[in-house]
C-alpha cells in the first residue's frame, strides 16, 4: 500500500508495475491494462485526498467549472506523464515483453464530449491542476456519449458509443454524495410571518449520483477531479399494474425517461422530445452541481457564512449550457437558506462568471417559455424576477425599446440564455481577441454599452502536455536536446528553438521526426480505411466538427478543382498531396452530413483515377476523437483553418497543429489572428475577406453568388459538377450544397473566397518545395506556440476573473 508521495518514485514504480504484471502474465491485454490502471488509480486517490485535505486546512479558494462536455481522452499515459514516470513504466513493461502503447489502446476514449468546447474544458482542468489551482469540473456521465461515427457508402452513420461497456477504471462512484433534482409540478405561494414563501410541489424526482474522475496535475502535486452526474430513479421500482397486464414498455417508462437524461450527449433537438431532453440535461447537471457546492460549503463553513462565499468559491460557466447556475443558486439561497433577494443576488452574481464561445445566433440558446416553465416552475419564477429587475435597470440607465429588445431575458415567448448569463455574471469573456471585439461591437453591443467593465478577452489555449508531450515524443526528445530540461513546466522556454530555425542539421532531424509521425498516421489510415497514402506526400489536413461556417466544402471544391486540372494536365507542377478530413456532423444537420458524403465521394473519384491518384489522394478518417487526433496533429504539414472570417470564436485545433510544427493556411478568423501575430506574416499564409469586410458585405446585400458563378467560368463549372452527374455513379448529386452556395446566396462566402483560397494554397505549395524555408517555418510555429498553452489562459482566468492563487 502507498503511504506517501515519497514512495511514488520512478524506480519504485517500475518494480511495482513489474510485480503487479507478473501476477497476471497469462491474462489478456485488457486484464493487464486493468491491473496497471488499478495500481495508478490507487495512488491517485491517495493524492486526491491529500489535495482535499490541503484545501480544507488552508481555506484556499475553489473553482467549480461547469461544462456540458469534458473531452478528456484516454488517461493512463496522461497520468504517467504528469507523475513523471512514463518512460520508467514503459521500460519496465518492455522488460516483461509488454508495450505501454498497446496497453493504452485498451482504454476507451470516454464519450464525454464532441469538439472544441469539450476538449477545451479538459485542457483547462489539466492546467488548473498543473498550476495548483483547487478545482472541480461539473458535467454529465453520458452512458453513450455523442455517437460513434461510421462511414458507410460515404454517409455518416451514428452508432452508440458504448465506452462504458467495460468498467471505467478511473471513476469512483460517490452515492453518499447523491442529490435529488426536481422537474415539473407547481409552486405553492404562502405568506408566513409576513414573508412570502415558495414551496415546489407535485414534482418528479430524479436521483443525481456523482462519479469522480481524477485530474492529475503535472508533477503529481495537485489532483483535482471531474464530478460527473448520472441520472437514476430515486426509488428502484416499476409500474406493476402495467407490467402485470403485459405492457412492459409502460411499466419501465418512468425509469427509462429518467435514465435518458444522462444517456446521450446532445440528443437531436430537431423534434419536441429532443428539446425537452436537452433542457432537462442542462438543469439536471446544474442543479446537482449547485446543490453539491452548497452542501460542501455549509458542511465546512455553516449556514451563516454566505457573505464570504465569493471569496471562497468561484463558479465558471462554459458557454450557455450551464446558464441555469444563476437562477438555481438563487433558488437555493432564497428558498433553502432564507436569504433576502438583494443578498442572494449579490452573492450569486459576484461568484459566477461566463465564457461565451460563439457568435452564431442559432447557438445562443433560446427556450420556449412554456417548456421552460413546465419543467422548472420555481426557477422560471426567479428568471421572471431577474428579467423584471433588469428592465427597470435599463430604464433607469436611459435605455430604450431597442435596448430592451436586444438585452431582455424574456422576449417573444422565449427565455434567452446568453442574455441571462451576461446579466448575472461578474465577468463575460470571449475566447480570442477578434471574437471578444465582435461580442462588444455586435453580439452584446448594448450590454457592453451599459456594462463595459464586465467584458474581457481570454484567448483559448490547449494542454501542451497532452498534444505535444504525449502525442509527439520524438519532437519532445529533440526539444529537450535543444533547449534543455524544464520547458514542459515553463513552456515559454520553447522559444529558444528559434535559434535553430536556420540550422541544417536541426531542420533535418525535425523533418525526420515529422516523417516518422506521417508513417505512423499512414499506417493508421491503411488499417482503418484501407487507403494507402504516401508519407512523403504533403499532409494537408482539416479536422474539426463539420459545419457550413467551417467550410469543409471550400476545401473539397479546391480538391475537385485540382482533380479537373490534373485530368487536363497530368504533369501539373505541384507536390504530391494527401488531403485528410475528419469530424462529426450533428445528427440533425442535413447539410453537414451531405458535406461528409461529398468529401467521401470526392475521395472515391480521386483515389480511383489512375492518373490523378498519382498526384493527390483524399482520406476521411472516421470517428474523430482525442486518440486519433493525437496521431493526426504531429503528422500534419498544412493546417487548414478556413472558416468564414468573424464566425469562429477561437478554434483550438489550430493551436495543436501549430505546436507540432504544421503551418497554418487560414482566414483572419478566431485564433488565427493571434497565431499570425505570434509567428509573423512570413510563417503563416492568410487569405480571404476580413471579418469586417464579410460583415459589411453581408449587411449591404451586395453579394450575389449566382452572378459570381456565371461570371467566373471556373467557379461555375465546379458548382455545376455538384449536380451534373459527376458524382451520380458514386451515390448522389449534391443539391443541398448546390442550393446553399447558389440558391441561398452562399451565406458563408465559400465562392467569394474561392479564388483567394486557391492562390494562397498555391503559395503554400511553392513554399513547401523549398525544404529549408518550410523547415524554418515549421520550427518557428513550434517555437512561438507557448502563448497558446492553456496554462497561460488559466493563469489569466485565475488572476483576472476567479482571483485565486496559482503556481
* 685-723: pLDDT as tens digits: 999 999 999 999 999 999 999 999 999 999 999 999 999
pLDDT at res. 210: 98
Hey, what's the torsion of the CAs at 226, 227, 231, 237, to 10 degrees?
130
- Whether residue 18 is predicted with pLDDT greater than 80 in this model: the reply is no
How many angstroms separate the CA atoms of 779 and 661, rounded? 6
Name the pLDDT band for 12 (thresholds 50, 70, 90): low
pLDDT at 22 over 80: no
Catalytic center residues = 357, 544-545, 550, 652, 656
**Three-state secondary structure readout of 153-190:** CCEEEEECCCCCCCCCCCCEECHHHCEEEEECCEEEEE
Closest CA to 176 of 300, 295, 301, 78: 295
Average pLDDT for residues 671-687, to the nearest whole number? 98
562: Cβ–Cβ under 8 A, 6 or more apart, which residues?
A: 572, 574, 577, 615, 616
CB neighbour burial string for 716-729, b if at least 16 within 10 angstroms, e if fewer: bebbebbbeebbee
Rounded to whole angstroms, how far apart are CA atoms 409 and 414?
A: 8
| Cβ-Cβ contacts under 8 Å for 134 (sequence gap 6 or more) | 51, 54, 55, 60, 61, 62, 63, 222, 224, 804
At residue 7, the pLDDT reads 53
Higher pLDDT, 14 or 455: 455
For the segment 175-204, the average pLDDT, to the nearest whole number, is: 93
Cα–Cα distance list, 672 to 157, 646, 663, 669, 749 (Å): 32, 11, 11, 6, 18
Percent of the chain whose predicted confidence (pLDDT) is above 90: 84
User: What is the pLDDT at residue 237?
Assistant: 77
Annotate 519-571 with three-state secondary structure: HHHHHHHHHHHCCCCCCCCEEEEEECCCCHHHCHHHHHHHHHHHHHHHHHCCC
Distance CA 330, CA 341 (A): 8
Model pLDDT, residue 221: 86
Report pLDDT for 464. 98
pLDDT for residue 245: 86
The whole-number pLDDT of residue 1 equals 30
Q: Is 485 exposed, middle or buried (0-12, 13-18, 19+ CB in 10 A)?
A: exposed
Quick one: average pLDDT of 189-218?
A: 93
| pLDDT at position 39 | 87
pLDDT band with cut points at 50, 70 and 90 for residue 51: confident
Residues with Cβ < 8 Å from 431, sequence gap 6 or more?
A: 120, 355, 356, 357, 457, 458, 459, 460, 649, 650
Sequence-distant (6+) residues with CB within 8 A of 769 are 575
Q: Where does the pLDDT of residue 11 fall: very low under 50, low under 70, confident under 90, or very high at 90 and above? A: low
Averaged confidence pLDDT in the chain: 94
List, for residues 240-251, the tens digit of each pLDDT value.
777 788 877 776
| CA 249 – CA 790 distance, rounded (Å) | 47
Q: What is the pLDDT of residues 322-354, one digit of tens each?
A: 999 999 999 999 999 999 999 999 999 999 999
Whether residue 658 is predicted with pLDDT greater than 60 in this model: the reply is: yes
Cell of 597: 458524403
DSSP code, position 112? S
Go through 556-575 and write b for each residue having 16 or more CB atoms within 10 A of its CB, e for each that does not.
bbbbbbbbbbbeeeeeeebb
Angle ∠(62,626,633) on CA atoms, nearest 5? 115
What is the rounded CA–CA span in Å between residue 99 and residue 271? Answer: 47
Mean pLDDT of 367-384: 98
Residue 66, classed as helix, strand or coil, is: strand
**Confidence at 2, pLDDT banded by 50, 70, 90:** very low
Tell me what the mean pLDDT of segment 117-141 comes to: 97
Residue with cell 468546447: 117
C-alpha cell at 713: 467560368
Interval 554-599: pLDDT, tens: 999 999 999 999 999 999 999 999 999 999 999 999 999 999 999 9
Amino acid at each position: 500500500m502507498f503511504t506517501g508521495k515519497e514512495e511514488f518514485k520512478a524506480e519504485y514504480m517500475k518494480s511495482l508495475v513489474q510485480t503487479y504484471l507478473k501476477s497476471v502474465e497469462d491474462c489478456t491485454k485488457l486484464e493487464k491494462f486493468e491491473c496497471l490502471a488499478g495500481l495508478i488509480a490507487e495512488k491517485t486517490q491517495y493524492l486526491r485526498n491529500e489535495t482535499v485535505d490541503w484545501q480544507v486546512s488552508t481555506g484556499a479558494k475553489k473553482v467549480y467549472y461547469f461544462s456540458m462536455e469534458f473531452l478528456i481522452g484516454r488517461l493512463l499515459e496522461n497520468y504517467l506523464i504528469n507523475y513523471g514516470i512514463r518512460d520508467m513504466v514503459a521500460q519496465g513493461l518492455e522488460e516483461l515483453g509488454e508495450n505501454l502503447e498497446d496497453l493504452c489502446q485498451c482504454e476507451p476514449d470516454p464519450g464525454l464530449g464532441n469538439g472544441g468546447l469539450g476538449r477545451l474544458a479538459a485542457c483547462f482542468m489539466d492546467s488548473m491542476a498543473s498550476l495548483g489551482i483547487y478545482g472541480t469540473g461539473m458535467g454529465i456521465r453520458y452512458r453513450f456519449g455523442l455517437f460513434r461515427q461510421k462511414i458507410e457508402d460515404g454517409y455518416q452513420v451514428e452508432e452508440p458509443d458504448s465506452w462504458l461497456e467495460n468498467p471505467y477504471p478511473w471513476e469512483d462512484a460517490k452515492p453518499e454524495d447523491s442529490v435529488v433534482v426536481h422537474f415539473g409540478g407547481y409552486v405553492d405561494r404562502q405568506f408566513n410571518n409576513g414573508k412570502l414563501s415558495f414551496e415546489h410541489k407535485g414534482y418528479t424526482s430524479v436521483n443525481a449520483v456523482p462519479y469522480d474522475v481524477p485530474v492529475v496535475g503535472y508533477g503529481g502535486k495537485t489532483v483535482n477531479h471531474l464530478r460527473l452526474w448520472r441520472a437514476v430513479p430515486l426509488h428502484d421500482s416499476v409500474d406493476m399494474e402495467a407490467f402485470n397486464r403485459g405492457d412492459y414498455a409502460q411499466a419501465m417508462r418512468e425509469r427509462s425517461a429518467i435514465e435518458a437524461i444522462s444517456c446521450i450527449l446532445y440528443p437531436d433537438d430537431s423534434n419536441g422530445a429532443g428539446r425537452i431532453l436537452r433542457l432537462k440535461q442542462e438543469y439536471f447537471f446544474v442543479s446537482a452541481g449547485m446543490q453539491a457546492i452548497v452542501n460542501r460549503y455549509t458542511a465546512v463553513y455553516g449556514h451563516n457564512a454566505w457573505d464570504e462565499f465569493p471569496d471562497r468559491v468561484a463558479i465558471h460557466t462554459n458557454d450557455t449550457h450551464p446558464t441555469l447556475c444563476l437562477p438555481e443558486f438563487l433558488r437555493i439561497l432564497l428558498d433553502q437558506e432564507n436569504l433576502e433577494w438583494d443578498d442572494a443576488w449579490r452573492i450569486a452574481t459576484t461568484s459566477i462568471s461566463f465564457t461565451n464561445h460563439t457568435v452564431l445566433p442559432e447557438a445562443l440558446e433560446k427556450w420556449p417559455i412554456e417548456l421552460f416553465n413546465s419543467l422548472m416552475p420555481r426557477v422560471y419564477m426567479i428568471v421572471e424576477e431577474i428579467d423584471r429587475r433588469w428592465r427597470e435597470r435599463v430604464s433607469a440607465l436611459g435605455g430604450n425599446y431597442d435596448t430592451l429588445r436586444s438585452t431582455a431575458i424574456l422576449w417573444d415567448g422565449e427565455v434567452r440564455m446568453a442574455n441571462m448569463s451576461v446579466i448575472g455574471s461578474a465577468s463575460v469573456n470571449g475566447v480570442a481577441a477578434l471574437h471578444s471585439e465582435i461580442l462588444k461591437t455586435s453580439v452584446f453591443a448594448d450590454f457592453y454599452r451599459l456594462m463595459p467593465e464586465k467584458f474581457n478577452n481570454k484567448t483559448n489555449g490547449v494542454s501542451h502536455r497532452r498534444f505535444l508531450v504525449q502525442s509527439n515524443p520524438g519532437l519532445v526528445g529533440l526539444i529537450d536536446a535543444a533547449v534543455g530540461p524544464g520547458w514542459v513546466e515553463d513552456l515559454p522556454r520553447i522559444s529558444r528553438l528559434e535559434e535553430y530555425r536556420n540550422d541544417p542539421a536541426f531542420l533535418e532531424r525535425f523533418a525526420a521526426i515529422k516523417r516518422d509521425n506521417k508513417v505512423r498516421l499512414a499506417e493508421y489510415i491503411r488499417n482503418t480505411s484501407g487507403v494507402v497514402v504516401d508519407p512523403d506526400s504533403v499532409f494537408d489536413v482539416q479536422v474539426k466538427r463539420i459545419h457550413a461556417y467551417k467550410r469543409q466544402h471550400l476545401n473539397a471544391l479546391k480538391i475537385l478543382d485540382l482533380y479537373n486540372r490534373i485530368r487536363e494536365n497530368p504533369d501539373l507542377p505541384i507536390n504530391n498531396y494527401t488531403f485528410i478530413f475528419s469530424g462529426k456532423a450533428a445528427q440533425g444537420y442535413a447539410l453537414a452530413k451531405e458535406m461528409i458524403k461529398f468529401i467521401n465521394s470526392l475521395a472515391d473519384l480521386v483515389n480511383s483515377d489512375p492518373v490523378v491518384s498519382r498526384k493527390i489522394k483524399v482520406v476521411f478518417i472516421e470517428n474523430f476523437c482525442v486518440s486519433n487526433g493525437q496521431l493526426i496533429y504531429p503528422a500534419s504539414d498544412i493546417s487548414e483553418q478556413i472558416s468564414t472570417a468573424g464566425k469562429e470564436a477561437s478554434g483550438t485545433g489550430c493551436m495543436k497543429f501549430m505546436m507540432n510544427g504544421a503551418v497554418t493556411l487560414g482566414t483572419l478568423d478566431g485564433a488565427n489572428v493571434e497565431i499570425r501575430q505570434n509567428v509573423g506574416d512570413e510563417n503563416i499564409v492568410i487569405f480571404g475577406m476580413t471579418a469586417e469586410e464579410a460583415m459589411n458585405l453581408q449587411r449591404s446585400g451586395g453579394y450575389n453568388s449566382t452572378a459570381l458563378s456565371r461570371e467566373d467560368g471556373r467557379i461555375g463549372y465546379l458548382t455545376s459538377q455538384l449536380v451534373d452527374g459527376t458524382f451520380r455513379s458514386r451515390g448522389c448529386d449534391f443539391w443541398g450544397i448546390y442550393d446553399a452556395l447558389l440558391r441561398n446566396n452562399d451565406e458563408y462566402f465559400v465562392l467569394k473566397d474561392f479564388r483567394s483560397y486557391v492562390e494562397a494554397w498555391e503559395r503554400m505549395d511553392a513554399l513547401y518545395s523549398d525544404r529549408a524555408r518550410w523547415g524554418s517555418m515549421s520550427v518557428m510555429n513550434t517555437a512561438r506556440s507557448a502563448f497558446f498553452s492553456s496554462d497561460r489562459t488559466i493563469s489569466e482566468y485565475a488572476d483576472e476573473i476567479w482571483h485565486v492563487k496559482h503556481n
